[in-house]
């Protein structure tokens, strides 16, 4: 119930700005429905007029005229026309309101995601986040566009028909409605069955997507190991589950309409039977009796339409509520806290980590009592076995996460006291897995400084040793980088990323050396690019190369989240400890 309330609150929030459109739609719906339930009365009048005409025509000396008949028939056609116009117009307004408000929801969701902490992205897979924008928002749109409209129009129609029938004849109204409790019960049972199948289908589709995703991302290994046949064989059960669930779902959903049709026909017979009985036994005037039967025949058919429509929208509505709750859940997850007010200026003294403890999950401490003191202009090389916490130290320097204990200071001020934007503008990061965006090479380099001049961009590219490569491309800096073509190798992506960092001129540099897939020529280029970017800067480098480590002012050796050794290369070799062992075994440099 809480989920329903939250979903409603979410919808209301986004529909509020469109209240005028909704009001117009409501007026059209009311007018259209009024015309729709009024029209059968004119049909009744027409039948009555026709009966009177026939009786008069058969009576010798009777005065017969078809005027009343024509008038009633014309009124009926006009009212049906009005009802169609009202419903079409309201449908148009509603679809405009829903696409506009879903557009706002999409924007709101994207803006919300931009405010989330890194922790949020750690614990939510990309595919799941993406499905918020695709299937969840689609479900919300479908519900707003059709379900909300249906609830309103069919609800009004349902109540309107009941009201009209009661006005016309209470007994006949009760006869017409007699079957409805049974029809509603059957419809709800079927809808419930279909819902369970839809849920199973969604679950099975999620598993299938997960399998496809894994197989495609591991395509190279799959081909290398000759596992195509096995991969196709393992696909079959996932596919089967989706097929079975969707077949059953379709079976139940498909039952609803013919069953309601059946109820409606049965009702028709009941109405005609009781109508005739009532007319014959009450000694009703022939014309009035015939008119009554025709009116109720029409109402009895109209009456089942909202029942089947309203039950059929139950499932899309459920999907939309689930979708809205998932989207709302993003809003409720914590945003990055930016309560620091200080503006970070150019680095004067240095950066100090003192007694830092940190855990991604409370029960699993990662960094324990880490202390590192870096003076302005120094280079620290972080070395250590895989999983020892090197990247984690880098993450904390940029305040991607808050510490569990201890403090990191920038010129003596705790990182938590700085305004995040101002702090991050002083810090430059080059990741091992460099990111390129679907933009031109120029815009990729100028990502952190969009107003940079072409000369500045080229100068940064030159320092990063990537300018010559860019110039070999026919469109040079204007070449578009798209995810699909592998324009850059891993090493070249890192050079591009170094150029991007050079351009922002950071005070503190965080660098994760690329190790994978780098040929010796590119490695040499990266080495020189790193030297250029580190010159006169304070830097933390996760170092894998001998050259970087040897030229470091300080080497910090991490093991299991603790600093176990600290000092210059010579000092650490002299200590004959872990580093010396690593060094002699050449493990650091592979």
Query: By the criterion CB under 6 A, which residues form the site for ligand ATP?
Result: 122, 360, 366, 384, 386-392
Contact 485, 414 (CB under 8 A): no
* Residue 350 to residue 44: CA distance in whole angstroms: 92
Contact 318, 326 (CB under 8 A): no
> Smallest distance from the beta carbon of 124 to ligand ATP, in angstroms?
11
Q: Which two tokens stand for residue 89?
A: 């117009």
Contact 318, 301 (CB under 8 A): no
Can you state the percent helix, strand and coil of the chain, rounding each to 5? Answer: 70, 10, 20
> Smallest distance from the beta carbon of 366 to ligand ATP, in angstroms?
4
> Smallest distance from the beta carbon of 553 to ligand ATP, in angstroms?
21
| Residue indicated by tokens 């960092």 | 501
For ligand ATP, the closer CB: 294 or 396: 396
| Residue indicated by tokens 């029960």 | 363
* Residue 340 to residue 335: CA distance in whole angstroms: 14
> Smallest distance from the beta carbon of 367 to ligand ATP, in angstroms?
8
Residue 360's H or E segment, with its range, is strand 350-361
Contact 277, 37 (CB under 8 A): no
Q: Which residues contact 133 (CB under 8 A, 6 or more apart)?
A: 106, 109, 110
> Smallest distance from the beta carbon of 565 to ligand ATP, in angstroms?
15
* Residue 503 to residue 489: CA distance in whole angstroms: 21
> Smallest distance from the beta carbon of 425 to ligand ATP, in angstroms?
24
Name the nearest CA neighbour of 327 among 151, 145, 124.
124
> Smallest distance from the beta carbon of 544 to ligand ATP, in angstroms?
9
Contact 234, 218 (CB under 8 A): no
* Residue 381 to residue 541: CA distance in whole angstroms: 5
> Smallest distance from the beta carbon of 392 to ligand ATP, in angstroms?
3
For ligand ATP, the closer CB: 307 or 383: 383
SS3 365: strand
Residue 215's H or E segment, with its range, is helix 180-217
For ligand ATP, the closer CB: 442 or 566: 566
For ligand ATP, the closer CB: 515 or 575: 515
Query: Hey, how many other C-beta atoms are within 10 angstroms of the C-beta on 111?
Result: 9
> Smallest distance from the beta carbon of 302 to ligand ATP, in angstroms?
59
> Smallest distance from the beta carbon of 526 to ligand ATP, in angstroms?
17
For ligand ATP, the closer CB: 44 or 389: 389
Contact 383, 582 (CB under 8 A): yes
Q: Where are the beta strands (DSSP E) in 458-542?
A: 508-512, 538-542
Contact 380, 556 (CB under 8 A): yes
For ligand ATP, the closer CB: 323 or 384: 384
Contact 424, 398 (CB under 8 A): yes
For ligand ATP, the closer CB: 383 or 423: 383
For ligand ATP, the closer CB: 135 or 432: 432
For ligand ATP, the closer CB: 123 or 282: 123
> Smallest distance from the beta carbon of 589 to ligand ATP, in angstroms?
14
Residue 556's H or E segment, with its range, is strand 554-559
| Residue indicated by tokens 């939309």 | 320
> Smallest distance from the beta carbon of 105 to ligand ATP, in angstroms?
29
For ligand ATP, the closer CB: 25 or 518: 518
For ligand ATP, the closer CB: 340 or 561: 561
Q: Which residues contact 409 (CB under 8 A, 6 or more apart)?
A: 351, 352, 354, 415
* Residue 36 to residue 39: CA distance in whole angstroms: 6
For ligand ATP, the closer CB: 136 or 512: 512
């Amino acid at each position: 119930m809480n989920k329903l309330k939250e979903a409603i609150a979410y919808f209301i929030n986004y529909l509020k700005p469109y209240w005028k459109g909704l009001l117009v739609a409501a007026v059209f719906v009311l007018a259209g429905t009024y015309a729709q339930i009024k029209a059968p009365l004119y049909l009744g009048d027409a039948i009555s007029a026709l009966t009177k005409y026939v009786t008069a025509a058969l009576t010798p000396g009777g005065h017969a005229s078809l005027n009343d008949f024509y008038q009633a028939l014309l009124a009926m056609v006009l009212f049906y026309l009005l009802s169609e116009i009202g419903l079409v117009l309201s449908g148009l307004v509603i679809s405009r309101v829903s696409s506009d408000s879903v557009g706002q929801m999409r924007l709101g969701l994207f803006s919300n995601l931009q405010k989330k902490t890194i922790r949020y992205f750690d614990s939510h897979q990309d595919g799941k986040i993406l499905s918020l924008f695709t299937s969840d928002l689609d479900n919300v749109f479908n519900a707003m566009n059709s379900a909300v409209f249906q609830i309103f129009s069919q609800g009004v129609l349902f109540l309107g028909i009941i009201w009209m029938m009661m006005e016309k004849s209470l007994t006949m109204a009760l006869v017409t409605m007699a079957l409805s409790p049974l029809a509603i019960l059957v419809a709800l049972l079927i809808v419930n069955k279909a819902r369970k199948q839809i849920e199973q289908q969604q679950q099975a589709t999620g598993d299938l997507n997960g399998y496809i995703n894994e197989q495609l991302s591991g395509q190279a290994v799959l081909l290398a190991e000759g596992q195509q046949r096995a991969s196709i064989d393992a696909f079959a059960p996932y596919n089967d589950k989706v097929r079975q669930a969707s077949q059953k779902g379709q079976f139940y959903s498909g039952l609803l309409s013919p069953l309601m049709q059946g109820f409606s026909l049965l009702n028709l017979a009941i109405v005609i039977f009781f109508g005739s009985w009532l007319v014959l036994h009450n000694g009703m005037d022939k014309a009035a009796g015939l008119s009554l039967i025709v009116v109720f025949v029409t109402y009895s058919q109209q009456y089942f339409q909202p029942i089947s429509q309203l039950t059929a929208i139950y499932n899309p509505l459920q999907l939309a509520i689930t979708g809205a709750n998932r989207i709302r859940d993003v809003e409720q997850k914590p945003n990055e806290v930016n309560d620091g007010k200080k503006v970070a200026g150019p680095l004067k003294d240095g950066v100090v980590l003192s007694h830092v403890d940190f855990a991604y999950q409370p029960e699993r401490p990662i960094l324990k009592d880490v202390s590192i003191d870096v003076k302005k202009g120094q280079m620290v090389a972080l070395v250590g076995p895989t999983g020892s916490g090197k990247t984690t130290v880098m993450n904390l320097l940029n305040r991607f996460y808050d510490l569990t204990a201890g403090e990191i200071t920038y010129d003596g001020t705790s990182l938590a006291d700085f305004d995040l934007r101002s702090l991050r503008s002083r810090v430059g990061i080059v990741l091992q897995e460099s990111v390129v965006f679907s933009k031109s090479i120029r815009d990729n380099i100028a990502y952190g400084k969009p107003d940079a001049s072409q000369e500045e961009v080229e100068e940064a590219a030159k320092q990063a040793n990537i300018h010559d490569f860019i110039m070999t491309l026919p469109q040079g800096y204007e070449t578009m980088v798209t995810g699909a073509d592998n324009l850059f190798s891993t090493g070249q992506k890192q050079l591009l990323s170094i150029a991007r960092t050079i351009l922002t001129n950071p005070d503190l540099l965080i660098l994760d050396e690329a190790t994978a897939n780098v040929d010796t020529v590119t490695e040499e280029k990266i080495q020189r690019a790193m030297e250029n970017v580190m010159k006169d800067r304070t830097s933390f480098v996760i170092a894998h190369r001998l050259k970087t480590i040897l030229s470091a002012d300080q080497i910090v050796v991490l093991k299991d989240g603790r600093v176990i050794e600290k000092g210059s290369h010579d000092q650490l070799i002299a200590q004959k400890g872990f580093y010396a062992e690593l060094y002699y075994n050449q493990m650091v440099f592979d």
